[in-house]
Amino acid sequence: MFPGGSLVLTGANSSADLRSKTVKYQHRDEVDEWPLDLDGQGDPDEMADARLIAFHATGDYMVFKSSTPTIKGRSRIDAAFEAGDQRHWNVCCPQCGQEQKLVFGGADYSFGLKFNKEPPYQARYVCAGNGCIIDHSQKAAMVRAGRFIAENPKGLYPSFHVDALTSLLTTWDKMAEAFLAAKDNPSKLKAFVNLWLGQSWEERGEAPEWKLLLGRRENYARGVLPVGALLVTMAVDVQGDGLFYEVVGWGADKQSWSVDAGFVEGDTADPDGDVWKQLTKIWERRYPDAYGGSWPVDAVGVDAGFNTESVKHWVRGRPKAFALKGMPGWYLPPLGTPAKVDITYRGKKKSKGARIWPVGTWSLKAEFYALLRKEPPTDGAEGFDAGYVHLGQHNDERYCRQIVAETLKEKEWRGRIVKEWVSTGDNHFHDCRVYNMALFDHLGGNRWTGDQWRQLAQQRGVKKVAQLDLEDVGLGAGTMAAQVKPVVASVVPRKPVSVVRKGRGGFVNGWK
């Protein structure tokens, strides 16, 4: 295959490799996962481009980029696809012959993939031309007879979009199942759009008006876990003159309740200061639930970005306590791999005596706002949506203003518009909530199956109450069977099928 040649495999995280070799044919895989900047030395994509310079005159080089697209604006494969001729696979309707590109559609579309909300999904495609119903049994032959059509013939090179609708490796029913399991959870929906539709996800930065949040507060008691709240996390934002904290209760379907939120005043620079003792008292509280039990905080996170030594000292030796550091960027896990750092207390230094955990805040902020935008049920309707953010009367104006004090701002980056988060005012409670979300994920809340949640519910005595209550939070006997499967099927970030691993691919530079 490579007569007289050589094959070089390298990672996009090695600037040495990307800088050293001349390579005529390149396959750059999963380019959306590549870092924007490699060790401060520049864009790895551009480093790889520079490896082609020797072939510019002859033009006989080839680059194949492939990737699952990720976030609009930031996505490398999106930009490469857009600059290309944008080929989509088109098929002819077996009934009327209308040639078309298959789209997922949605409730607002008269055409596209249609399916039942419960199994059997009976997914079928409604033809855009004449509304013909295309049965899944007709899919394979229809897809095989299709062809790529370029939507941007003036593009610089061929670029291709591939998605699960025309994949012969999966079924429309599986696609429907994946969508239904993801639709109420912003991070799962994002993964569905990326992996199954091969499309980038547009992050939205709008939060509801703080007044709206103030107006929809509920009457549950402060410091008490409402029905459905099974996990308890606590997060702390450190200021020079005190500590902002929030305690959050979490349900199986990610509904959350602000159980307590407040500010403890005092000088945080002194690790032995009174304010840290007060924090200990709050942390040691137990939270009574609706079933007669009471529970401690399952995990607490303290922002170590300010007065770091005090934070490290407080967290050290304390079970279930994490020193956290918020990190900018879109592709970071909620809670990453901790870094071991030195700790100094009363003039004594202990080498590598503390751990600081990076928090990928950007995606969490977007998810938080998506959850915050969920509206309470209107009069007569039953139950809250999965992921709904419940606020209590203790969540005052300051709290409501602060949780929405971040916005997504567009800026130009290398000729593209990218979005980044900026604060629009005091945002301490916003930070607390984002850290709470990272802890919830770290504890496993986003990945647990219905069985695992049910187990937790049993440990916490939930079986004592009527099942009617449990149905509100996705744990009722009636909903359990339906609940278990989707949760398992939509575990992120494992890629569900190999089909859409390459959502989009494209050739760039040189050759057609």
Q: Using CB under 5 A, list all residues that contact Zn ion.
A: 93, 95-96, 98, 127, 129-130, 132
Cβ-based neighbour number of residue 337 at 10 Å: 8
Q: Given the complex with Zn ion, which of 125 and 287 has the nearer CB atom?
A: 125
- Reduced to 3 states (helix: H, G, I; strand: E, B; else coil), residue 28 is strand
Q: Given the complex with Zn ion, which of 47 and 102 has the nearer CB atom?
A: 102
Contact partners, residue 67, CB within 8 Å, separation at least 6: 29, 30, 31, 32, 33, 75, 76, 77, 502, 503, 504, 505
Cα 169–174–180 angle (5° rounding)? 150
Least distance (Å) from Zn ion to the CB of residue 369?
Answer: 40
Q: Given the complex with Zn ion, which of 134 and 248 has the nearer CB atom?
A: 134
Least distance (Å) from Zn ion to the CB of residue 468?
Answer: 47
**Phi/psi of residue 483, each to 5°?**
-70, -45
- Give the separation between CA 82 and CA 159, rounded to whole angstroms: 8
The separation between the first and the last C-alpha atoms of the chain, rounded to the nearest angstrom, is 21
Least distance (Å) from Zn ion to the CB of residue 116?
Answer: 21
Cβ-based neighbour number of residue 456 at 10 Å: 18
Q: Given the complex with Zn ion, which of 129 and 338 has the nearer CB atom?
A: 129
Q: Residue 344 forms beta bridges with which residues?
A: 349
Least distance (Å) from Zn ion to the CB of residue 102?
Answer: 12
Least distance (Å) from Zn ion to the CB of residue 91?
Answer: 11
Q: Which of 90, 52, 107, 85 lies closest to 509 in space, CA to CA?
A: 52
Q: Given the complex with Zn ion, which of 129 and 329 has the nearer CB atom?
A: 129
Question: Looking at 402-447, which runs of residues are DSSP E strands?
Answer: 406-413, 416-423
Least distance (Å) from Zn ion to the CB of residue 176?
Answer: 20
As to burial, measured by CB atoms within 10 angstroms (0-12 exposed, 13-18 middle, 19+ buried), residue 1 is exposed
Antiparallel, parallel or unpaired: β 133-134 and 124-126: antiparallel
Q: Given the complex with Zn ion, which of 100 and 171 has the nearer CB atom?
A: 100
Least distance (Å) from Zn ion to the CB of residue 135?
Answer: 12
Least distance (Å) from Zn ion to the CB of residue 131?
Answer: 7
- Reduced to 3 states (helix: H, G, I; strand: E, B; else coil), residue 87 is strand
Q: Given the complex with Zn ion, which of 128 and 207 has the nearer CB atom?
A: 128
- Give the separation between CA 131 and CA 111, rounded to whole angstroms: 7
Cα 203–206–207 angle (5° rounding)? 125
Q: Given the complex with Zn ion, which of 98 and 424 has the nearer CB atom?
A: 98
Q: Given the complex with Zn ion, which of 96 and 221 has the nearer CB atom?
A: 96
Least distance (Å) from Zn ion to the CB of residue 133?
Answer: 9
Q: Given the complex with Zn ion, which of 126 and 497 has the nearer CB atom?
A: 126
Q: Given the complex with Zn ion, which of 20 and 98 has the nearer CB atom?
A: 98
- Give the separation between CA 26 and CA 12, rounded to whole angstroms: 12
Q: Is 171 left (phi over 0), alpha (psi -120 to 50) or beta?
A: beta
Least distance (Å) from Zn ion to the CB of residue 138?
Answer: 11
Which two structure tokens, joined as six digits, stand for 23?
């390579």
Least distance (Å) from Zn ion to the CB of residue 98?
Answer: 5
Task: State how far the alpha carbon of 468 is from the alpha carbons of 7, 85, 292, 431, in Å.
Answer: 62, 55, 17, 34
Q: Given the complex with Zn ion, which of 93 and 261 has the nearer CB atom?
A: 93
Q: Which of 223, 230, 190 lies closest to 371 in space, CA to CA?
A: 190
Least distance (Å) from Zn ion to the CB of residue 328?
Answer: 48
Q: Are the C-beta atoms of residues 339 and 353 closer than 8 Å to each other?
A: no
Task: State how far the alpha carbon of 386 is from the alpha carbons of 182, 232, 389, 448, in Å.
Answer: 11, 17, 9, 15
